[in-house]
Structure formats: structure tokens, C-alpha cells
């Protein structure tokens, strides 16, 4: 896929290697946010989760939920309807 960066922090997303991937493609909202919030506590501090979603509403939910739960959203990328989030615990 050829993702376009929507938002990023310091590093370019292609320079970040996620520790885990959650593929929620085809799942309706709010499932991507729920499964992300259930998964993040299982990660060690500093580990990175890659979340893939094609739910358009996730662009609103994931950044807010990430911040509200004390995680760091490293980047948001988009390729067509697919969104890729890199979230650090």
C-alpha cells in the first residue's frame, strides 16, 4: 500500500517498526477503538501498535481515545479508505 501521511510526530512513519499489528479492516466503528483500548494495556511501555482500519469514523475516535488513555499517537496515514495508526504505549 502507498500510505499518505495525515499526521506524524518526530519520525517518518516508514522509519517506525511496530511491535504488533491489529487488522480491523471490515469492522464497523466503534470496534477498532474498542479493540485498540483492550489491546494497549497488554503492551510493554514503549512498544508500538499498528492499527489498520477502514472505518471512516475512526479518524475521529482513535486519536481522542489514544490521548484520553495516556498513549501516544505517533502517526496517522491513509491509503484510499484504509487508515493506519501507529500508537505507542
Residues carrying an active site annotation? 29
DSSP secondary structure letters along 49-81: EEEEE--TTHHHHHHHHHHHTT-EEEEEEEETT
Q: Which pLDDT does position 46 carry in this prediction?
A: 96
What is the rounded CA–CA span in Å between residue 30 and residue 45? 25
* Whether CATH 3.40.50.620 fits 20-88: no
pLDDT tens digits in sequence order for the chain, 89 residues long: 567 776 667 778 888 899 999 999 999 999 999 999 999 999 999 999 999 999 999 999 999 999 999 999 999 999 999 999 999 99
Q: Residue 52: name the closest of 85, 87, 74, 16 by CA.
A: 85
Please tell me the predicted confidence (pLDDT) of residue 26.
97
What is the reported pTM? 0.89
pLDDT of residue 11: 76
- CA–chain centroid gap for 44, Å, is 16
Q: Are strands 4-8 and 72-79 parallel, antiparallel or unpaired?
A: antiparallel
Amino acid at each position: 500500500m502507498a500510505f499518505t501521511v495525515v499526521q506524524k510526530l518526530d519520525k517518518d512513519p516508514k522509519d517506525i517498526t511496530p511491535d504488533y499489528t491489529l487488522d480491523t479492516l471490515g469492522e464497523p466503528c466503534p470496534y477498532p477503538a474498542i479493540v485498540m483500548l483492550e489491546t494497549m494495556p497488554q503492551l510493554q511501555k514503549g512498544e508500538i501498535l499498528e492499527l489498520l482500519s477502514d472505518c471512516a469514523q475512526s479518524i475521529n475516535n482513535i486519536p481522542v481515545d489514544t490521548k484520553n488513555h495516556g498513549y501516544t499517537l505517533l502517526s496517522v496515514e491513509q491509503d484510499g479508505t484504509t487508515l493506519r495508526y501507529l500508537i505507542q504505549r
